[in-house]
Structure 1
């Protein structure tokens, strides 16, 4: 087997792997699917902490079914703590 043939095979293999990995990538979902959110409780932080008028602290139960999806979103100015119960 000559060197040109081996080089050509390697180039084809690398190109195929590169195409396969790019083709397999997906963008973020455009809508939530298989997901429910229930607000369990909340408090107005403005009455508790100076400078926090109009801000609330909420406790939610979010259930995501197997295969469920959540859209890409930000928690800027809305910090959160997550506790995973199962899964």
Structure 2
């Protein structure tokens, strides 16, 4: 897997979920994990904005739901790390 650490956190989550076959594409990720329209990530890239606090909250909650499912401990550890990073952003808003 290529480096994703330099990407914004929402893109890191997307790439992690995609590489682990948890989500199939950006449109599904936007709808299911951010609670937004299928083109939300494209809009964020084009406008160079970050996701809204609501989208971050939704993403953190969805990661929490994934943590309750059966995944390898390495996958859960990465999900926990990503969720912690999102929660830090939410604390600042």
Structure 1 or 2: more strand by fraction: 1
Q: TM-score, normalised by structure 2?
A: 0.22
The structure having more radius of gyration, on CA atoms, is: 1
| Greater RCO, 1 or 2 (C-alpha within 8 Å, sep 6+) | 1
